[in-house]
Each structure stands twice: as C-alpha cells, then as structure tokens.
Amino acid sequence: EEISSQNKLYGSRMAHPAQEVKSVLNVAGRNWFLVWQGSTAFKNGPKTIYAFWSAGSVLTLALFLVVIIEMMATRT
C-alpha cells in the first residue's frame, strides 16, 4: 500500500521537508504508515526552553537518586 488521503490519519504532508522518516507498523494485520517530517521552520520554536529545563530537571533528579541508592548500597 501507499500513503493516500484515504488512509491518512492526521495532518498534511510537507511539500519539501528537510528530513523525512517513514516506517511501517503492523497492528492486528493492518499496516499503518508512520511518516515523520521535519524542517528548519520548527527550530527554536515555541516553548523550546521549557523542554530543555524539563529534561535537565529529570536528569538531575535521576542522578541524585542514583547517588543516594549507590551510597545506601555501599553501606550494607
């Protein structure tokens, strides 16, 4: 099968994307085409700094927990 307007679930495709990744997902015998497209129009888009702060916070919390667990493990 090929991607057409009949089997499109969401969104419209870009005319000339800078990057495009296609993958096929088979669920219950039905093929789903996943198309990821990207361009430079989304670079430094809205709420980018929020995503970086969130990722940094999660990383910091994970490292803190790893250090605490490591300290507890060495004392037993």
Domain range list for the chain:
1-43, 44-76
The answer to whether residue 1 scores a pLDDT higher than 60 is no
Contact 45, 51 (CB under 8 A): no
Average pLDDT over the chain reads 82
Q: Please tell me which residue, 4 or 53, carries the higher pLDDT value.
A: 53
Mean pLDDT of the 30-34 span: 80
- Report in angstroms the alpha-carbon separations of 6 from 3, 10, 30, 39: 8, 11, 14, 25
Total-model pTM: 0.43
Two tokens, residue 31 = 């093929």
Rounded to whole angstroms, the Cα distance separating 32 from 26 reads 6
Question: In 1-76, which residue ranges form alpha helices assigned H by DSSP?
Answer: 48-74
Mean pLDDT of the 31-53 span: 78
Amino acid identity of 29?
A: G
